[in-house]
Amino acid sequence: MTSKPAYRIASIPGDGIGTEVVAAAIQVVEKLAKTLETFQIEFTHIPWGTAYYKQNGRYVPEDCLDILRKFDAGLFGAVGAPDVPDHISLWGLLLAIRGPLQLYANVRPVRTFPGTKCPLNTATDGIDWLLVRENSEGEYSGQGGRSHIGQPWEAATEVAMFTRVGIERIMRFAFETAQSRPKKQLTVVTKSNSMRNGMVLWDEVAAQVARGFPDVKWDKMLVDAMTVRMVANPQSIDTIVGTNLHMDILSDLAAALAGSIGVAPSSNLDPTRKNPSLFEPVHGSAFDITGKGIANPVATFWSAAEMLSWVGEKDAAAKLMLCVENVCSAGILTPDLGGTANTQGVVDAVIAEIEKLK
């Protein structure tokens, strides 16, 4: 008899609705494992977040990377609190993990779920894109500083740093990803008209990597023009690759165009698999709806499905997504998608769908 594969997952709910949506996803994934009986999964709660920061003076302990390396993957909620500056919370937790673990490929699929509405009349069949974000350098390298603090001539610099290695590996990943999709089509987002150093290197490396993928149709687009194309000509897009900042912004736009930020997932991948990858919804801690019980858990369900797929449970991941789609089709939606269900209502409906898999 072969034993079932067993996965150890670090659960880091973080702040705000992060705690609500991660709790929702854990219920659903545990139910899936119990029902399918093809794999085992164990979530270990890790309390890093703003409450931890207020107690310990830091968002994560010094040995946080060693702690995470003991797991097969991580499921993250969100970080950010109204009474802590956002750059402290983000750099304290998420960016303290993504860079040092070299989770350099941030994959953000977006699509319109059945039963939900895409606000664009230019995309009557909805949206189905895959966004690849460079996740380790660029505008979020942390390079820069402040001088003349408190003086009227106070100055600050934020230096975007691009390396040939960093660009090459994300381009290769993006071309491979585009190649694996039916359309085999990639758009490289740039801003090399006004940013004449880093972005020009970005374009050059893209063109070099493209030569190894003759079957992928690719084009290059300035980020400002890309926003127009996403709205006016969404059917002309399939896979997109861009820098840390550009894709941070474009992925929120993409999520809103697909239906809601509440359905957008994100995978922080180390494609070399030396380190555990981290899966999280695109959204933040959403102060305005925290504690109301109405956060849309679908982004975290989808993130959990991407996590299952990454660790090797592709079939279970596909089944989970089918259950989520059935629930959306049935109109069981949270208010961000125009529905009246609450978070637990959606969880219960997905669990009922999972029951049917028996």
Ligand X SMILES: NC(=O)c1ccc[n+]([C@@H]2O[C@H](COP(=O)([O-])OP(=O)(O)OC[C@H]3O[C@@H](n4cnc5c(N)ncnc54)[C@H](O)[C@@H]3O)[C@@H](O)[C@H]2O)c1
- Catalytic annotation, residues: 140, 191, 224, 248, 252
Confirm if 252 and 218 have CB atoms less than 8 A apart.
Answer: no
CB of 14 to ligand X, least distance (A): 6
10 touches ligand X (CB under 6 A)? no
Nearest one of 22, 230, 271, 215 to 131, comparing CA atoms: 230
- The stretch among 50-58, 151-159, 231-239, 289-297 that binds ligand X (CB under 6 A) is 289-297
Confirm if 346 and 357 have CB atoms less than 8 A apart.
Answer: no
299 touches ligand X (CB under 6 A)? yes
> Measured between alpha carbons, how far is 357 from 326 in angstroms, rounded to an integer?
12
> Measured between alpha carbons, how far is 238 from 186 in angstroms, rounded to an integer?
6
Of 33 and 250, the one with the shorter C-beta distance to ligand X is: 250
262 touches ligand X (CB under 6 A)? yes
Of 26 and 171, the one with the shorter C-beta distance to ligand X is: 26
> Measured between alpha carbons, how far is 146 from 287 in angstroms, rounded to an integer?
29
Question: Which residue in 78, 216, 250, 320 binds ligand X (CB under 6 A)?
Answer: 78
CB of 17 to ligand X, least distance (A): 6
Q: Counting Cβ atoms within 10 Å, is residue 57 exposed (0-12), middle (13-18) or buried (19+)?
A: exposed
28 touches ligand X (CB under 6 A)? no
> Measured between alpha carbons, how far is 243 from 237 in angstroms, rounded to an integer?
17
Both tokens of residue 355? Answer: 């029951």
CB of 226 to ligand X, least distance (A): 20
267 touches ligand X (CB under 6 A)? no
Q: Which of residues 324-343 bind ligand X (CB under 6 A)?
A: 334, 336
CA 287, 289, 293, 295 dihedral sign is negative
Q: Which of residues 88-147 bind ligand X (CB under 6 A)?
A: 89-90, 94
CB of 281 to ligand X, least distance (A): 6
Question: Which residue in 268, 285, 303, 309 binds ligand X (CB under 6 A)?
Answer: 285
- Partners of 156 in the β-ladder: 146
80 touches ligand X (CB under 6 A)? yes
* Phi, psi (rounded to 5 degrees) for 7: -120, 140
The site for ligand X (CB under 6 A) is made up of 17, 21, 78-80, 86, 89-90, 94, 261-262, 280, 283-289, 295-296, 299, 334, 336
